[in-house]
Amino acid sequence: LRRDNGEIVTVHGYRAQHSQHRTPCKGGMRFSDEVQEDEVKALAKLMTYKCAVCDVPFGGAKAGIKIEPRDFSDMELEKITRRFTVELAKKGFLGPGIDVPAPDMGTGEREMSWMADTYKNTIGVCDLNSHACVTGKPIVMGGIHGRTSATGRGVYHSTNIFVEDPEYMEMVGLVPGLSGKTCILQGFGNVGLHTARYFHRAGAKIIGVIEWDGTIYNPSGIDPKALEDWKLEHGTIRGFPGATATDEDLLEGECDILLPCAKEKVITEENAHKIKARVIAEGANGPITPAADEILIANNQLVIPDIYCNSGGVTVSYFEWLKNLNHVSYGRLTFKYEFDSNKHLLQSVQSSLES
């Protein structure tokens, strides 16, 4: 890559396909300076299991480019993404029926639109379904409503199922229901932000947020929307007026639910015994090591595994992929709309009867 200042640098990228028993292969593409071959292989394996758990007809795959995106300009990131796309396509690692990447850590709609555009204008120039080569695209390029928030929404729904269950809550010593529960969130990117918003709407209190450049705490609760606006304006959660900065490791803080939604291997054998949360919902991929998992289970803590907890993203990616292949817009998925409408109607009738 020739950088904007004229410097020449070498960028390493990886794509691993774990299973081709069901095609196309499916898995995110991440930008991180911690990317390496073994990590990509392991995450591809997790994707196979995740697709099986939520019953979508994909094999597992994963991609990663070893860069820190904050150190590169938008032009440089576009060059890297487009060149990586061409290399994947030439080697048979990209295509609507072969391998379909999606956003992951450090990537989003912008990167997916670059990939789709590059594929369409190179290898897929005569392919009617070329836009189905990636998911997580902007709406104008064949994306689907709800894809951006899908993973966070999945974390909320999967956690809520367990938290509403009296048997599971009795096992960990909590009262059923999310309302009033205290939560600590690690990561305020795409997954963490939408997880926080859904938990907040359900009545839970986000008392702490951990980010790469700082940690904030407010025992009375943090408003996710206000924090999102602050981060968009300032580029960081530091200095947020609705909470206090702290040097404490909030992963080990007192709370009911811990939401690690950042990166892998944050809870290990060294710190697992210090985790005080009664429920840990894995919003990230592999945030708990196997040794730490055993410690948490021995301490009677409920761990909701990532292959189920954060599978909302790949589920909605499946809908987007189908939309691109069918060339028919879904409009809005009506099931949730009808469910919410009926729910509000019943609540209205109940409140009328009570009054």
Angle at 30 between CA 26 and CA 34, to 5 degrees: 130
Task: Measure the N-to-C terminal CA separation of the chain; round to a whole number of Å.
Answer: 68
Asked if residue 208 lies in contact with residue 215, where contact means CB atoms within 8 angstroms, the answer is yes
What is the C-alpha separation between 70 and 35, in angstroms, rounded?
A: 15
Chain-centroid distance, C-alpha 39 = 17
β partners of residue 225: none
Q: Which of 26, 41, 50, 62 is catalytic?
A: 62
Q: How far apart are CA 211 and CA 213, in angstroms?
A: 5
Mark whether 62 is an active-site residue.
yes
**Which string of DSSP letters, residue by residue, matches 28-91?**
EEEE-TT--HHHHHHHHHHHHHHHHHTT-S-EEEEEEE---GGGS-HHHHHHHHHHHHHHHHHT
Q: Which residues contact 190 (CB under 8 A, 6 or more apart)?
A: 103, 108, 148, 151, 152
Give the integer Cα–Cα distance in Å for 296 and 252: 13
- The rounded distance, in Å, linking the Cα atoms of 163 and 174 is 9
Q: Answer whether the bond into residue 101 is a cis peptide, omega within 30°.
A: no
Q: How many residues does the chain have?
A: 355
Instruction: List residues with catalytic annotation.
Output: 62
